[in-house]
């Protein structure tokens, strides 16, 4: 049987929604010449009318070459990293190995917010930034 996992964050209030799809796209000759693209599929009636395809965040949101950005899990992590600059962002993986791949890359890319995490016995030492 699985174990229950609890997440805590700041109070979240629902707002108007914009639902879309995203992917990474190559835009130059260099290995890190890629960016995230977002396309709106639907919005709620009071939402900002956002139509078309938009570039999201800075180029190469993850410190990875474009040829590594073929996986949905790393694209999800890249989008989550961009959104985390505005507050809490949760990236959800499809399968457990993808979740671990995302966690290892996030540990390499993101600052640890809570020093307690590094001392916690359940923190995987292999995920620590070198």
Angle 96-109/72-84 helices, nearest 10 degrees?
40
Domain locations in the chain?
18-127
- pLDDT exceeds 50 at position 5: yes
Q: Distance (Å, rounded) from C-alpha 111 to C-alpha 84?
A: 11
Q: What share of the chain is helix, strand, coil (3-state, %, to 5)?
A: 30, 20, 55
> What per-residue confidence (pLDDT) applies to 65?
95
Question: 1-5, 55-59, 103-107: lowest mean pLDDT where?
Answer: 1-5
Residue 89, Cβ neighbours under 10 Å: how many? 14
Q: What is the reported pLDDT for 119?
A: 58
Mean pLDDT score, 34-46: 88
- Cβ atoms of 93 and 110 within 8 Å: the answer is no
Amino acid 129: pLDDT: 43
pLDDT of residue 43: 82
Residue 75: partners with Cβ closer than 8 Å, 6 or more residues away? 22, 23, 24, 36, 69
What is the C-alpha end-to-end distance of the chain, expressed in Å?
A: 34
Distance, in Å, from the CA atom of 84 to the CA atom of 90, rounded to the nearest integer, reads: 8
Q: What rounded mean pLDDT belongs to the chain?
A: 80
For residue range 71-123, list pLDDT tens digits in order.
999 999 999 899 888 777 788 899 999 999 999 998 888 776 555 555 555 55
pLDDT tens profile 10-35? 665 666 677 889 999 999 899 999 99
């Amino acid at each position: 049987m699985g174990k229950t996992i609890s997440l805590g964050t700041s109070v979240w209030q629902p707002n108007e929604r914009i639902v879309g799809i995203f992917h990474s796209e190559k835009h130059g000759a260099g290995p890190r010449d890629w960016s995230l693209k977002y396309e709106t599929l639907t919005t709620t009636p009071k939402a900002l009318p956002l139509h078309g395809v938009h570039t999201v965040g800075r180029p190469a949101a993850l410190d990875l070459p474009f040829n590594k950005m073929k996986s949905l899990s790393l694209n999800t992590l890249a989008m989550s990293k961009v959104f985390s600059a505005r507050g809490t962002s949760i990236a959800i993986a499809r399968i457990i190995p993808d979740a671990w791949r995302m966690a290892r890359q996030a540990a390499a890319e993101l600052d640890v917010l809570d020093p307690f995490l590094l001392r916690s016995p359940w923190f995987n030492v292999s995920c620590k930034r070198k």
